[in-house]
Amino acid sequence: MSTYFSSIKDEIHTLGKLIAGCIYAKTVLFVENCYSDMTPLQDEELSEISGQAFVTLDQETVLGKEMTRVNIGMELKTQLNVEELKLGEYPRWENGEACFECDGTEPGLEKQGADLWVKNMSFGAIAETSGRKMDGRYYRAGEIIPFEFYDPYIEIAKEDDELVGMRIGFHQARGIFSGDILSFTGQLPVQIKDNAYALIDAPNRPWWFALAGALLPFTPVEGQAHPITAPNVVDGEVDYESGGQPDPVRATHIGLPSGSNFTLGPIPFIGDIDFATTDCNLHGVPTCFPMTQFKSMEVGEKQKNGTFLPTGGFFLSMQKKAMEWIEPVSQQRVSTPSGVFFSVPVGSVEFNLEQSFHGTPRRRVEYIDRGVGLF
């Protein structure tokens, strides 16, 4: 684990030098172009002036850990492609701790070789048609729709003068995220929202699902998906009467956790009707899906007009042992296991039923067709 901390510390050191260089350069330019004498301001003049520091420092103690967060007041807009991101690559017990003495063949280890593993990862996309996009702005075909990061921060956690955790996060973010997620450690709550009419096309549905969809076509249906254990595969067939348990470490599937509710309603004079899932199915309808089928997702707080507002709670962390991080904006506590952890807040990703069952296509992220499905 120390290797990963050393790598991140090197990145932070480089970022710090870059920021310091930018501040120095801006200061030099300012001084060279300043020809006026410094004169004191009166109290009345000072009261009319306000401002905010570009870099601020917050320190607090949380459950015996000294937390130091460096906040950087900037807005980043980017279209970034990464061929492969693989973090936390070491043997690890199933939903447990790292096993640095293991060679990877021991029974009981996680099948995935890394805490976070994403291929063909992209932040932002390229508009395929002209029109207004998720941020409400108008884009011509071929223009970049950037992923927006607001007010990034770097935070470290120390316990007894020892570094035990580190994270990089953003106060708010919005944009299109794409990738083939092969292993995911963290929280990824996905809101599933649609109208009951969509139940007519649900795979393996019982007859009364179709009846409910026909009689109550505009009634809302809703559930919340999370990373879960995969269903078993027997003789090439997926057994949806297995799996569906919460899986916060190296998950490969996402869906409604076993025992959670899928809600139909409100229905006039009746209210809500909750249907509880069992394993990976809801009365025969599959409720567990491989993460790899969701090639792109829109991240943000969805509005009624279909646009998205920036939302907070995004961070990537690494910790030597289980601990809690506090969100800068909401002040909510996020529990994280040891290793690499990626946090996506509640309400920032939403799918309808068709997208849940069949996945989402990859958005265009390259200008040149290399034959790898990114054009």
Please report the pLDDT score of residue 38 as a whole number.
Answer: 62
Please report the pLDDT score of residue 30 as a whole number.
Answer: 35
Please report the pLDDT score of residue 21 as a whole number.
Answer: 44
118 beta partners: 85, 181
Please report the pLDDT score of residue 27 as a whole number.
Answer: 36
pLDDT tens for each residue of 11-39: 444 444 444 444 343 333 333 444 445 66
Please report the pLDDT score of residue 236 as a whole number.
Answer: 86
Question: Which ranges of the chain have pLDDT less than 70?
Answer: 1-39, 41, 43, 45-53, 375
Please report the pLDDT score of residue 37 as a whole number.
Answer: 59
Please report the pLDDT score of residue 292 as a whole number.
Answer: 96
Please report the pLDDT score of residue 35 as a whole number.
Answer: 45
Please report the pLDDT score of residue 47 as a whole number.
Answer: 66
Please report the pLDDT score of residue 61 as a whole number.
Answer: 86
If you average pLDDT over every residue of the chain, what do you get?
Answer: 86
Please report the pLDDT score of residue 340 as a whole number.
Answer: 95
